[in-house]
A = this chain, B = another copy of it.
Amino acid sequence: MPVTLKDIAREAGVSIATVSKVLRDEPETFIGARTRDKVVTVARQLGYRQNLHARTLRLGKSELIGLMAYDVTTRVALLRLQAADRAIRERGYRTAVWIAAARQDAELRALEECQSSMADGLLLIQPSAELTVEALKPLLESGIPVVTMAQVPGVDLDCVTVDRKVGGYLAIDHLIRLGHRRIAYIHGDQRYETDRSRTEGYVQAFTEHGLEVDRTLFVEAGAGYRNGYRAAQELLSRGGDQTAVFCNNDENAIGAMRAFREAGLRIPEDLAVVGFDNLEASEFAPVPLTTISQPIEEQSHLAVERLFQRLEPGFDAPEPHFVSLPPQLVIRESCGGNADA
């Protein structure tokens, strides 16, 4: 049903080879202006569209980059995905997006599909905790370049990430300087390096200030507003004496804010709150949120850049490289006055 080179060739009275050459305008090949025109017009007339499968099969490369994210309802994951997608398309490649959250085994399936579709490279936007060495092994052995935006335990990949430890440190240091000593912490799934790092930053800040960490002020929360809300409720029910809360991300923080305010606490007077990510939403939170800003665009760009370096024919760097970008503290109103004031 679809129009092929053969159809054009027949209609234009030339060979398939000629059509192919014209349509790709193959360099160093001489095709008469008359035939060239003829072919082009016929192709347009018939509504020809190149068949990518045939092309890929013949060429042995797809000019396709796989993009995988575990949960795109997490806003930062989506923003990274979008930035990466754009950067890749700007380089003339296409993208294949896998949203793993769709099903449990979706991530493994995605890896298989990645190979099956002959993707030239893979960008792990946000690997899940289930993504292990064994799962990645076949892919890596097949020699396709993989760059990740969050470390995968036990696998030594090219990695362009954000230094969440610094992020956690900045947040807690800010709170301590403001005089807080009892700082609750709504943290994420500690199986993830990205979540553990924040915790490390928390601890480091306390240690540096000669303070002791009290883990009874720690609560775990899943993604999203509601989970932050629940975690805050849990914190309240424990009756802890926290004067501040550091949240794993802005959505958690905004959710938590509601719980605290429902309990009659004023922010920042009775309780200081710090988020993480600097989403647009954080600026429009009930109380504008002091938070940690991640360089999402830069991270995505660097990751894509690295991937394309690996794609370069001559490129040969056996040892994966590791980049960790620094986040920044963004001060708004949820912690009260400026620390240095």
Contacts and interface: CB of A to CB of B under 8 A. Distances in A.
Interface of A: 1-2, 47, 49-54, 56-57, 62, 72-73, 78-79, 81-82, 85-86, 89-90, 94, 96-97, 99, 101-103, 106, 112-113, 115-118, 138, 141-143, 224-226, 229, 254-255, 257-258, 280-281, 283-286
Closest 6 CB pairs of A and B: A97-B97, A286-B286, A53-B53, A86-B102, A49-B115, A225-B284
Given A57-B53, A229-B284, A82 B99 contact: yes
Contact of A112 (B49, B106, B112, B115): B49
A5 to B, nearest CB: 13
A285 B143 CA distance: 48
A47 B116 CA distance: 11
Contact of A118 (B51, B94, B283): B51
Contact of A226 (B54, B85, B280): B280
A117 B52 contact: yes
A284 to B, nearest CB: 4
A16 to B, nearest CB: 16
B229 A258 contact: no
Interface SS majority for chain A: helix
18 contacts: A47-B138, A50-B116, A51-B116, A52-B113, A53-B53, A53-B54, A53-B118, A72-B78, A82-B99, A89-B102, A94-B113, A96-B97, A97-B97, A224-B280, A225-B281, A225-B283, A226-B283, A255-B284
A216 B297 CA distance: 39
Contact of A106 (B1, B47, B89, B142): B89
Contacts of A283: 225-226
Nearest to A254: B284
Given A142-B1, A142-B47, A86 B103 contact: yes
B106 A2 contact: no
Contact of A286 (B1, B73, B115, B285): B285
A228 to B, nearest CB: 8
Contacts of A81: 99
Given A49-B112, A53-B53, A280 B225 contact: yes
A1 B115 CA distance: 12
A241 B261 CA distance: 31
Nearest to A53: B53
A138 B49 contact: yes
Given A258-B284, A281-B225, A285-B286, A2 B86 contact: no
Contacts of A103: 86, 89-90
